[in-house]
Structure 1
């Protein structure tokens, strides 16, 4: 269950010496049922303009960092910057462990990094505006360019996709020195 893993990710963030956000009591009411995918795209476009493929592919850390406050304002609730990995059918993308994340914090990050970030709403719904386009680009699936994931994390399992949160909050970006990459 995503909520259990999310709460563990908040605790892990603290164990790693990171400032973890106060997630309080998570709201079970769906935020996404109150809107439609077109509205989400319009919010992004109003804030950032029409994003190019290059501004999306492989840009999950910076893209979701920039969108966190935008969607917090839009939904009028806290939105949680979430770092982790994704299991999809028979593969795992961006897999890290607590130990590998601790090492990144200790030594810093230079160059490219094998991390993934998305936004989590208090309802445990996931907003991921980069993975579908990145996946489509790498796998030459043109119809996937510009897609997004906006669904309750547990409902994604039916499609063979499992989001695995490891860290919650943006503090990792600063303390690992990755923030200088964007």
Structure 2
């Protein structure tokens, strides 16, 4: 199991230890992402959004609700469950969204976290990071809004660090905003 897979296993253990539900998740499947599958993912997301258009600001500032809302469509397209994953992201030498605490109330208050989807192959689907990095003046406008769909360890410039996982944890986080 690679770097991301090991970190994901630790995040699952921490999630359980904090009293949240987290599904069994193998994280050792062979790669799933093909051009055909990515096409099905886009088709399911488009159908799920039903013409709703989101601005770069709405996407970049709402990683948890965007991924939570689109997870069922993506799971349907893939044919298996993805895992909502909360953690930190490093882009180049800069670390973004690095929580000081894993307490859900503190996370909700600080907003210092990022949420993405993990596939059982340790590939990730991150629909909001490029928009968030654009808003932080780290990417050009031409890169903003582009989803990242790749193996978590594929790009040495990008590093996702999973800390907590699961629908239950994200639902608890989102409930703090209602």
What whole-Å deviation, never above 9, does each CA across 1:31-53 have from its counterpart, x for those lacking one? 21253655433322211135322
Q: Which runs of 4+ in 1 moved over 6 A?
A: none
The TM-score normalised by the length of structure 1 is 0.84
Match of 1:90 in 2: 93
Out of 138-147 and 30-39, give the one that drifted further.
Answer: 30-39
Secondary structure in 2 aligned to 1:10? Answer: helix
Q: Does 1:128 align with 2:129?
A: no
Q: Does 1:43 align with 2:36?
A: no
Cα distance in structure 2, aligned partners of 1:143 and 1:20: 36
Secondary structure in 2 aligned to 1:55? Answer: helix
Cα distance in structure 2, aligned partners of 1:36 and 1:50: 22
Structure 1 unaligned residues grouped into runs of 5+: none
Asked if the contact 2:89/2:161 (under 8 Å) is kept, the reply is yes
Structure 2 unaligned residues grouped into runs of 5+: none
Cα distance in structure 2, aligned partners of 1:156 and 1:15: 31
Compared with structure 1, are the counterparts of its residues 46 and 156 closer, same or farther at alpha carbon in structure 2 (3 Å cutoff)? same
For residues 29-178 of structure 1, what are the structure 2 equivalents within 5 Å?
29-33=30-34, 35=36, 37-48=38-49, 49-53=51-55, 54-96=57-99, 100-101=101-102, 104-105=103-104, 107=105, 111=109, 113-139=111-137, 141-157=140-156, 160-176=157-173, 178=174
1 or 2, which has the higher helix percentage? 1
CA RMSD of aligned residues (A): 2.2
Asked if the contact 1:84/1:115 (under 8 Å) is kept, the reply is yes
The TM-score normalised by the length of structure 2 is 0.86
